[in-house]
Structures are given as structure tokens and as C-alpha cells.
């Protein structure tokens, strides 16, 4: 959902191009999923990218699976309650207590929205 929201915002409010893909496991809400969002000032010819600039991880299994796609010097944002083991790698990492904050706000599933807010505030991707 956070990738859809950000992708919609960059297209409708920032006049940029975006392509968003997603995949979900057999779990319903709250299970492992993956979403990619490519943002560009120019038209995008492929929905796939070799390396990513930013990885947001809300589970250890997601981090383990997708950390290899994060480019050296990229940004890793993760929830330290959900992601315990961070391998040594050349990335900038940021801990965000997203799940804890979402629970305080009344809905654990909203942790991705907490991370979206952190991502925007810390990177200023959108004006």
C-alpha cells in the first residue's frame, strides 16, 4: 500500500513518472509481501530494476531475501523489533520502531504507513 500511495503521489503531484509492481504470498493482510517502485523524471521502459536505492524491511525474511538487491551506499530502513540480524554491508541503515508506533496508534498493520512517513520525512523525496 505504501508503494501505491507514494507512486500515485509522484505522478499526480510531482509530475514524475512511476511504475509500481507488487507480489504477495498466500498470506492475507500482514503477511510477507514485496513491492517495487521506480520513480523517474523520464519515461520508464521497464518495470524491473537490477539494484534498488532504498529498501524498507518489516521482517527478517524480507530483509534476507531482498538485501542483495540494495546497491552499495543505498538506504536500509527497518523495524528493529521485526528485523534482528543485519548482515555487514555497505549501506546506510535506519531503525524505525514502526510496529510499536502503529500499535500505539491502534492498528499494527499500519506499520508500513509509519515507515512511509519516516521515508518521506528523512529523504524528502516528494516536495
User: Coil, helix or strand for 86?
Assistant: coil
d(CA 110, CA 2): 10
Q: Please write the tens of the pLDDT for every residue from 87-127.
A: 888 999 999 999 999 999 999 889 989 999 998 898 887 87
Contact 57, 83 (CB under 8 A): yes
- Is the model's pLDDT at 67 over the cut of 90? yes
pLDDT of residue 37: 92
Any alpha helices (H) in 67-125, and if so which ranges?
98-105, 111-123
Percent of the chain residues topping a pLDDT of 70? 94
Q: Please write the tens of the pLDDT for every residue from 19-64.
A: 999 887 655 455 567 889 999 999 999 888 889 999 999 899 989 9
Q: Which residue, chain included where needed, has cell 508500513?
A: 112
**Grid coordinates given for 100:** 510499536
H/E run at residue 75 = strand 70-78
- State the pTM of this model: 0.84
Q: Please write the tens of the pLDDT for every residue from 7-30.
A: 999 999 999 999 999 887 655 455
Amino acid at each position: 500500500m505504501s508503494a501505491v500511495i507514494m507512486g500515485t503521489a509522484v505522478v499526480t503531484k510531482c509530475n514524475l513518472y512511476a511504475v509500481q509492481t507488487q507480489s504477495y504470498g498466500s498470506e492475507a493482510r500482514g503477511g510477507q509481501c514485496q513491492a517495487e517502485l521506480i520513480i523517474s523524471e523520464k519515461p520508464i521502459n521497464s518495470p524491473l530494476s537490477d539494484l534498488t536505492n532504498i529498501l524498507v524491511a518489516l521482517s527478517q525474511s524480507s530483509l534476507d531475501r531482498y538485501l542483495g538487491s540494495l546497491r552499495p551506499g543505498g538506504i536500509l530502513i527497518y523495524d528493529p523489533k521485526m528485523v534482528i540480524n543485519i548482515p555487514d554491508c555497505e549501506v546506510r541503515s535506519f531503525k524505525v520502531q514502526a510496529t510499536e508506533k502503529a500499535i500505539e496508534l491502534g492498528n499494527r498493520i499500519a506499520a508500513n504507513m509509519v515507515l512511509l512517513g519516516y521515508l518521506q520525512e528523512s529523504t524528502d523525496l516528494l516536495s
